[in-house]
Structure formats: structure tokens, C-alpha cells
Structure 1
Amino acid sequence: MTERCSNASASASSSSSLNSSFRDTEDDHTIASILAEEQQTSKLDGRLGRRLSHLDSIPHTPRVITEIPDVNEATLDHERLSERLATYDLEELQMEGDGNCQFRALADQLFRNPEYHKAVRKQVVKQLKHHRKLYEGYVPMKYRSYVKKMKKSGEWGDHVTLQAAADHFGAKICLVTSFRDSGYIEITPNGMIPTRQLWLSFWSEVHYNSLYERGDVPMRKPRKKHWLLF
């Protein structure tokens, strides 16, 4: 009796693993299809990149969030960011401040819909999990605990998750920041030529928004829903 139960349990576990693997593959194909469609219909990121190609970027080192600025420092940083965006003739599409803002901003740039943030987080976590050697050296805690933490909705993204997003989606992530000495940061995918650019604003460890040229911030309309993204 014990042996039968054990075999049944192993069979169920194997079936569950196969179903999960199939679902992940199907998810990847669907996301690739959506991205290809979006790439054909949107030329915004390329136009922004050409117009701001003169900006000097500092070398990017992935890092986790260790410290949040105090209120006074954050206020000054926000003023600096606002001035910088005005200088570059950029506008922000504001993301909800629910702890998912980085993934919402990435989803808006990738899919033109910030509500797809759960799918973006899922793909980033998959990248972290399957390519541990690329990222664990930047994580000052047990790596498995870090990945498990990042799976949770509402967990703040950091510069390690940005690098993982760049690597997974084959994108150059362009950050216009509030930092005094590093106003522009480029995060490029490891070992590949980026196929798209994602433009985000970054308010000193506090918040991310999606960037557009002034006057081009979209009015959000209902989009076709994909089952894997909700």
C-alpha cells in the first residue's frame, strides 16, 4: 500500500512538473508574439534613442536596494529629476506606487500596458532563477531567498532585476535618474545586441515611471487581454 501511494505521488509530481514546464513554454511563446506585434506598431523607443544619443552613460553595476533616502533628500532628488526631464523634453507616464512600479514601467514600455507587470515579474524571476551565475555575485544575501522574495507582488525591483530584464527581453534599458552625478544610466543585455530600448525615469530608490517624448504620453485605452498576463 505504501509503495502504491509513493508511486502515485511521484507520478503526480512528475505530471505537475511537466504541466508547469509546458505552461512556461506557452507563456514564453505568447509573450514573444505580443512583443513582436508591439515592436511593429511602435517606433517611439527608437526615436527617443536617436534624439538623445548624445547623452553620456556611466557604467552600470547591478545592485540591490540597501537604503531609502530621507524625506528632505528625496524631495531634492525629485526636483532634480523634474528639471532633467524638462531639459530632455520628456514626460512621465505615472505608475501606481504599489511596490510594482519598476515592473509596471517595464510592462508599459514593452507591452504599452502597465497592467502586464505580473508577466514581466514572472519572466525576470525566471531569468534570475535559470542564470544564477550572472547575478548572484551582486546579491548580498542567500540567492534563493532573494529570488523567492522577488517572486512576490509588491516587492520592489532593484538594479539586479533591471539587468535581468535587459538580458531576458534583449533590451537596452535607459534610465533618466535623479542622481546628482549619474543622470543617465544605460543597462545593456549581456552578450547580445539589444533589439529595443526601454525608457524609464528613476527617482532615487523611490519610484520608477515610464518615459515618453513631451506630448506623446498615451491616453490609456482597453487593450486585448491575454490570459497569461492576468
Structure 2
Amino acid sequence: MSANLRNGSESSSSSLNSSFHDTEDDQTIARILAEEQTLNTGSSRQLGRRLSHLDSIPHTPRVNGEIPDVNDATLDHETLSERLVTYGLSELQMEGDGNCQFRALADQLFRKPDYHKYVRRQVIKQLKHQKKLYEAYVPMEYKSYIKQMKKSGEWGDHVTLQAAADRFDAKICLVTSFRDTCYIEILPTNKRPTRELWLSFWSEVHYNSLYTNGDVPTRHPKKKYWLF
């Protein structure tokens, strides 16, 4: 019994410490965001000019579809790679740990992919507080969807991208591997975007952060990438 109590106490203490650090991190990151409103303005303008002639398809939030088989995924990756070369864009590779969408958003917002936990928390807050904006696009019980999406490693989808656009007042620009379109813009709902975030989307497999060629920062990932 005493061992169980000790273990429970340690677990509770660990949870409290984790909660404290999360709050502390949120405050730090929020301050950085407030101080760095123009952090990626120059870079995003360059990217925007390169793709300004492309038509964007209307964005409809949706949950993730089925992961393609190896042959289709390989073809999709080649398509995406060719498009990036065509437009002079390069990817900063995100870790393939299930958090890649949130890592890519954190990189675009803060130049720090490790802030992905903060970004996920902000997206979850948006989903909770503005349920009416998103629940129609979720083909499951909404509370269950949020509970699932809160977990680290749970793949982000196009519903979370819309929530991120709304939460951060951002236009999220996706260069995709879709065969019928290479470019999607996700705009904040009923707001004017104050920043642009540029991501690549290897359909149903992986997200990376986009830069113009020669501007990709040097990073040292802790885990292997999603790469062929």
C-alpha cells in the first residue's frame, strides 16, 4: 500500500510539474509571439511572390484520409519534389513522430519546431471554444475528436489547420502533392490574416516547413525524418 501511495504521489507530482512547465512555456512563447509579429514577413513575401500566379482551390476542412500505399506515396512524393524545384522552394524537414504538422506550424511561427506542444494546445483551445465552426467537418463525436487530437503524436488534419489559421490570424499556404492541385490557401474565418505560414504537404503522410532556396535554417533533428 505504501508503495502504491508513493507511486501515486510521484505521479501526481510529475503531473503538476508538467502542468507548471507547460504553463510557463505558454507564457514564454506567447511573449515571443507578441514581440515578433513580423518574424517571417520578409520570407513569406518572397514565397508569396513566387506562387502569386497560382489559383488556390477553395479549402474545406476535413479529417485525414487513408494513408496511400507505397507506390502511390512514392509518386506523390516525386510530384511534390518536382513542384518545389519548379518554384525554387526547399523544405525544412520535420521529425516523423506524428507531430509534424504542429512542428511545421511552430517553425513558421517561431522558427522553433520544438514549440509544437504549445501550438497543439492553442489549436485545441480554438477547437473547444469555437465548436460551431468545426464540428460539422468532424465525422465522429466532437468531444472524442478533441480528446484524441490533444494527444502528442496524433496527426493533425485539415480541421486543425483551419483552427490554427483562426487561432493565429494566419493564412496557411500549402504546396501539396495532390495531383489535381498544387496549392491550397487556408484563411482565418472572418478575419484578415496578419501573417503567412508556408508548409509542404505530402498527401496524408507528412508536413514540412517551406523556405525559398538558400534560406533554409540549419537544424539538428533528434529523430529521423519521413523520407524515402
Question: What is the TM-score normalised by the length of structure 1?
Answer: 0.82
The alignment yields a C-alpha RMSD, in angstroms, of 1.8
- Give the conservation status (yes or no) of the 8 Å contact 1:125–1:151: yes
Name the counterpart of 1:5: none
**Corresponding position: 1:39 with 2:40:** no
Mark the CA change 1:54 to 1:218 in structure 2 (over 3 Å): closer, same or farther: same
| 8 Å CA contact retained: 2:26, 2:118 | no
The question of whether the paired residues in 1 share the 8 Å contact of 2:39 and 2:109 is answered with no
Q: Deviations over 1:27-50 (max 9, x none)?
A: 766444312333334421122213
How many residue pairs are counted as aligned between the two chains? Answer: 199
**Aligned match of 2:87:** 88
Matched, 1:161 2:196: no
Q: Which runs of 4+ in 1 moved over 6 A?
A: none
User: Which of 1 and 2 has greater Rg?
Assistant: 1
Task: Give the gaps of 5 or more residues in structure 2.
Answer: 1-18, 221-228
Counterpart residue number, 1:209 = 208
- The corresponding residue for 2:14 is none
Tell me, yes or no, if the aligned pair for 2:39 and 2:110 is still in contact at 8 Å.
Answer: no
Question: Structure 1: which amino acid aligns with 2:38?
Answer: Q
TM-score under structure 2 normalisation? 0.83
Mapped contact 1:38–1:110 kept (Cα < 8 A):
no
Aligned counterpart, 1:225: none
1:39 match: secondary structure: coil
For 1:132, the equivalent position in structure 2 comes to 131
Aligned to 2:150: 151
The corresponding residue for 2:197 is 198
Residue 170 (structure 1) aligns with: 169
SS of the counterpart of 2:36? helix
* Equivalent in the alignment of 2:100: 101
The superposition leaves residues 96-149 of structure 1 with CA deviations (integer Å, 9 ceiling, x where unpaired) of: 000000000000000101000000000000100111000000000000000000
Stretches of structure 1 that go unaligned for 5 or more consecutive residues are 1-19, 222-230
- Kindly provide the amino acid, as one letter, of the partner of residue 135 in structure 2: E
How far apart in 2 are the matches of 1:179 and 1:212? 20
Q: Secondary structure of the equivalent of 1:205?
A: coil
Aligned position for 1:227 = none
